[in-house]
Amino acid sequence: MKTKRQGKLPGRLVLIAQACSLAIAGPALAQDNTKQETDAEPSSVKLERVEINGIRSSLDRAAREKQRADNVVDVLSAQDIGKFTDQNVAEALQRVPGVQIQRDANGGEGTTISVRGLGPELNRYTINGRTGFTGDARAFDFSNIPTELVSSVQVFKTPTSDMDEGGLGATVNVVTRRPTDLKDFHFASTLQGQRNDLAGKTKPRASIFGGGTFFDGQMGLILSAAYSENSQRYDQIESFGWSRVTANMFTDPAVGAAAAGAFRQTTITPALVLPTRKKTSAAGAYQWKVNDSLEFNADVLYTKQKDIESLNQLVPQFQNSYPDNYSVYGGGITQVTVDKDNTITHLEAQNLNLTLQNAIFNNRTQAQNSGLNFKWHADEWTVNGDLAFANARQNNLFGSVVFGGRFDTVYDATRGGIPSITYYPSDYANATSVNSGAAPVSPNDPSAFVSQGVQGNLALIKQSEVGYQLDAERKIDSDWIDGVKFGVKYRPGDYQRDYYIQNVFDLYAPNGAFTPFSVSGAPAVISQSFPVSNFGKNIPGSYPRAFPNFNFNTAMSLMETSPEVGSNFLGTLPFSPLGSYKVKENVTSGYVRGDFSGSLFGFSYKGNAGLRMAHTEESSSGYSQDSLGNVSLANATHDYTDFLPSANIKFDLPHAMLLRLAAAKVMTRPSYQDLSPGVIINDVNNRTATQGNPNLSPFRASQFDATLEYYGNKGQTAAFGVFYKDISSFISQQTVSKNLSVTIPGVNPGDPAVQSTQAFQVTTPVNGKGATILGSEMAFNLPLSTVHESLSGFGLNFNYTFVHSDAHYVNGLTHSDNALEGLSKNSYNVGAYFDQAGLNLQLSYTWRSNYVYREIGNEGNTEYAKPMGFLYASASYDINKSVAVTVQGINLTGQKFRLYSDIPDRLRFISDSGRSVIAGVRVKF
């Protein structure tokens, strides 16, 4: 008979670890990766008496779960999230080694995450161990999940065979609060105000929580809800990209020939973005322990988010060719200066089309994740059954009203960065140079603009999945194995995107059916001044700080009098097959896992090994378009099977240290968009097209991990790890010659159209050359009382990640090797805290090096994000056992989000989102 290892930790820490393990355990045994050692403490211990409070306790809680885990995992506990200065779970997760957050398009709130260099769609996301949806395809928008409803977040960096496949980077499990977190009845509520210094508005944030156990612990119930509003402001300078000039853009062909092939900004656009966000969330959990052998669990999480964003921008359109087909006027580039990097640093243009745009984004998301679970055990057997439901809906509406004006323009960016632009009145009689002899004029003159056009698009996204799971586990008392576990799961799912779009331009063309109106000629349109008086106050440079501003709804209603536009423009957008597709995905999986422990060379060890099989059946439909715009439906099916072995082992070393080793095969399925079989003819004359690929194989990789961990008896912890991933089927874009059947019009009027097979250059996603990732992680937490008792309450924590990767991309017909998108080679987080006598203080700084934002971005450029560092601070004070006051500061240094194209001197994007403060009161009893 093998002697089981006894717990070596002091009694209180063992109690904390056991209580935490119960509190964060998901309802599905398939996601329970913290095997209990029930004989570590006497049976008389009552875990419900253990109370965990404060920053240090939460850090210890997370450390103990990491120590006990069967695989490589990092954990944020509820206290971590509640005490850190975070707007959402993504902001909190950036403090985990190897996790980097992706900020939204405006550089503001963090929304999605990358893990160890693998992007948002290459991780697996679960809520309470079940598939989690936020309407963001395979990615997960953490801004939808309020921190108030979360108990813990687990980042599993190595899998066990009982975990759902799909996490090439990691599996991230969000655990909502459960009755086992509590003793008796518990109530808590928060009321806060949050304010952004640029927006200058204070908005509410509130949560309420109540629940406990009843009938001598036989039943438990939790109900919670959260509501928040937030007003932000983004001051932006944006270039839509850099592209090469062509000779037909110049009034003088000789000048055009000399500069042909040089890069110039297609636009340089000052833009004011005013977003507002409302979030409503509710969660509930019910547990019923029928008897000592049978237990039922049910939980539900509902989230609703509404984002409304107004955009005011001024767009000089350097991309227009000569003669300008956007107007009846001639015009073009008259002079350029090209630097050593083949970049245009000085440009003069006649009759430049200056666009004044006001746009509205109205995005709404609803998501629901729920499940029912039972657990039955008798003797050495435990059986789990789980039924899960997940669905999400997104309505993303965009509407834009555009006015156009004409100016002669001088552009200068001799030092890189933000260029200066000087505007002059257009001299239509002069065809050789800009009208620089006249006095410069301001583009902030409403009389210079007339109605030009409207745009609108709507994406309706539906996503759903049902999960049926059955698991069984048997404990075995032998010299070489502790137990076996096996199970099956079936997950049918659907993803559907319906797209609607319409663009109507050239409304001021002569003899058109629509009579244009000028901004100044329709006073009702200019019913509001520029929304702010200090636009761009933190972004130095010479650019317009205000420009004509009009009432979006009034301008839209005036344009809807045109037959070309039609009434109720945004409400009657026509269906666009080419942006619409459906994917049905059914996954059948099964696994077997064995747990073992023993001793080797005097060191005790514990581990697991297993095999997971997953069979995927995909059916997809999309639309194909021929050269005349005729559209037809295309359907495709595909199936594949993956066998995914995994093994994890940890060794207890002297001096409170652990050594972990892990190896596994992992996979992630392709994006839904890439699976659409549709074909879109982009240019029939140049024979170019794009097409999805329903026969794509998933991303597949082999990975290896080794970590060395230290757990001191006074809360000090340290860890160092190395990891390697070999991705064998990396998906990238490839352009190949392909014969397509197209419709060719008749040569003469009245001749019938004919079908013809033509060779096209078709860009499509393919399983190409692989990618590799090699990295290391280190982290420590040091309560300073271990240094000297006078420093009791103070502590430091730090983590650092280094990741090197290379991937193979195809940009049109050009092949390139680069780092993976979203991956910073270096990133770190450093923090200090004080936690004593009811006073909690934290200061945290998170930094990441530059990274590839998009390998194939606007105008085909590779876009890079510049290094970023964000400073956060928080303070809370417990007035008594029931009431505490809190304050948090976010982005205290005013860090800006910056992108560049190809080289640092080619500005792509700058966004200033300002600083934010959240303050309020917490009540609990």
List, as one string, the DSSP characters of 494-549: EEEEEEEEEEE--TT-TT-SSPP-BTTT-TTTS-S--S-SSTTTTS-SSS-S----
Whether 314 contacts 353, CB under 8 Å: no
Which string of DSSP letters, residue by residue, matches 799-814?
Answer: EEEEEEEEEEEEETTE
Per-residue pLDDT band at 246 (split at 50, 70, 90): confident
Question: Is 90 exceeded by the pLDDT of residue 577?
Answer: no
> What is the rounded CA–CA span in Å between residue 169 and residue 725?
9
Which string of DSSP letters, residue by residue, matches 296-364?
Answer: EEEEEEEEEEEEEEEEEEEEE-TT--SS-TTSSS--EEEEEEE-TTSBEEEEEEEEEEEEEEEEEEEEE
> What is the rounded CA–CA span in Å between residue 853 and residue 820?
9
**Which CA distances in Å does 233 have to 276, 532, 867?**
9, 10, 22
Q: What is the mean pLDDT of residues 46-64?
A: 61
Whether 884 contacts 893, CB under 8 Å: no
Whether 811 contacts 856, CB under 8 Å: yes
pTM of the full structure: 0.83
Question: Is 80 exceeded by the pLDDT of residue 758?
Answer: no
Residues in the chain: 925
The residues pairing with 189 across neighbouring beta strands, listed in sequence order, are: 208, 923
Residues 6+ apart with CB under 8 A from 492: 465, 466, 584, 585, 586, 587
For residues 86 and 469, which has the higher predicted lDDT (pLDDT)? 469
Q: Closest by alpha carbon to 769, among 802, 818, 812?
A: 818
Map tokens 């309802």 to a residue: 27
Per-residue pLDDT band at 388 (split at 50, 70, 90): very high
Lowest mean pLDDT among 242-256, 498-512, 655-669, 878-892: 498-512
Question: Is 50 exceeded by the pLDDT of residue 323?
Answer: no
pLDDT at 225: 92
pLDDT at 387: 96
Strand 754-767 to strand 688-691: parallel, antiparallel, or no bridges (unpaired)? parallel
Per-residue pLDDT band at 813 (split at 50, 70, 90): very low
Q: Dig out the tokens for 89 from the structure.
A: 């779970």
> What is the rounded CA–CA span in Å between residue 640 and residue 654?
46
Rg of the chain over Cα atoms, rounded to whole angstroms, equals 30
Digit-coded pLDDT (tens) for 690-729: 788 898 889 899 999 999 999 988 889 999 999 999 988 7
Digit-coded pLDDT (tens) for 265-296: 888 899 999 999 999 999 999 999 999 899 99
